[in-house]
Chain A
């Protein structure tokens, strides 16, 4: 009977040492903290109307601005979006990744939303309302074999905090700089996939020398080349496919009228 078997580990000899999961996969004593805590959300037609693990919007630390209609307006939107789990270490991320459904196996019309803790995946959240998103649309038939890695690499750039290069150059005496990234989304539709990177801010002007625009464009270029592996000047536009393009949430609401897209 092996059930009662006690693992004999030389605890004392190792007690003083730092053991990562690579040194000892079952008995590690340190974990790698992420720059931010993250929450994974999910919705699909199958989640609608389910009142099982309902996600009360009040459970989230909204920036208290009760006079604005934002969080209330997001309430209907959030009703069918299920909170899956929160995590704040590299090790926890992989435990989740290895036990959840990859995008290629999701039904059509499903979405994963991976957002920083405390930010709900809605335009109305204070962290998102002045922002926008980089996104790419990929035809499903040509990308079934790519989408899982694209989404994994997008998540890794998000939790590793490598989308926004400004963070390295900040003044070490100041507070830790705030990243422009609020979350990332993968969406499955009957004929295409879409992956999006949401940012806290979006450039107000179209001026090419606007520092914010340059910072946003660096995020888009990193997404296209570093994360997705396309060439810098590669044209991606095709039936059911888009370039890697940025649109502010305010312009998205206008449904195309006067929308100023940035393309990398």
Chain B
């Protein structure tokens, strides 16, 4: 350690790192307004191998926003967004496009 971890917003260990794996979905109760996973997907579930329907999963979108500690800087792996709104349509397969030739 001693490495500066400036990108981490919270000095506390993230809940994600310490949370334990649910082993029985039936024992979890969700707050009012939150749907439980569809029961029929997990009739024979065991060993914490659960299946989840889309509606259940989508409920996490607005809640789980924290950037994962293990996510590398995206530009280091060449994963950078293009400026889509101004992106010119190329027709006729000329293959030319804006600012994509950095080789």
Contact = CB atoms under 8 A, between A and B. Distances in A.
Interface of A: 7, 18, 20-36, 42-50, 52-53, 82, 84-87, 89-101, 104-108, 141, 144, 153, 156-157, 159-162, 167-172, 176, 190-191
- Contact-residue size bin, chain B (C-beta under 8 Å from the other chain): 35 or more
Given A31-B16, A33-B22, A190-B90, A22 B34 contact: yes
Contacts, number: 192
B35 to A, nearest CB: 10
Contact of A90 (B31, B57, B77, B89): B57
A162 B54 contact: yes
A33 B50 contact: yes
Interface string B56-100: 111111011111101110101111111010000110010101001
Given A30-B28, A106-B82, A153-B54, A94 B22 contact: no
Q: In the complex, which of the residues B27, B40, B72 has the most CB atoms of chain A within 10 Å of its own CB atom?
A: B72
Contacts of A94: 60-61, 63-65
Contacts of A44: 78-79
A106 B20 contact: no
Contacts of B81: 101, 105-106
A32 B22 contact: yes
Given A29-B20, A168-B43, A190-B93, A99 B64 contact: no
Contacts of B6: none
Nearest to B30: A22
A168 B74 contact: no
Contacts of B52: 32, 90, 156, 159-162
Contacts of B18: 29
B54 A190 contact: no
B5 interface: no
Contacts of A93: 60, 64
A168 to B, nearest CB: 6
A172 B48 CA distance: 13
A53 B71 contact: no
B82 A85 contact: no
B41 A45 contact: no
A129 to B, nearest CB: 25
A22 B31 contact: yes
Given A99-B71, A160-B52, 10 more contacts: A32-B52, A36-B49, A46-B79, A48-B103, A86-B70, A90-B57, A96-B71, A160-B56, A168-B44, A190-B93
A29 to B, nearest CB: 5
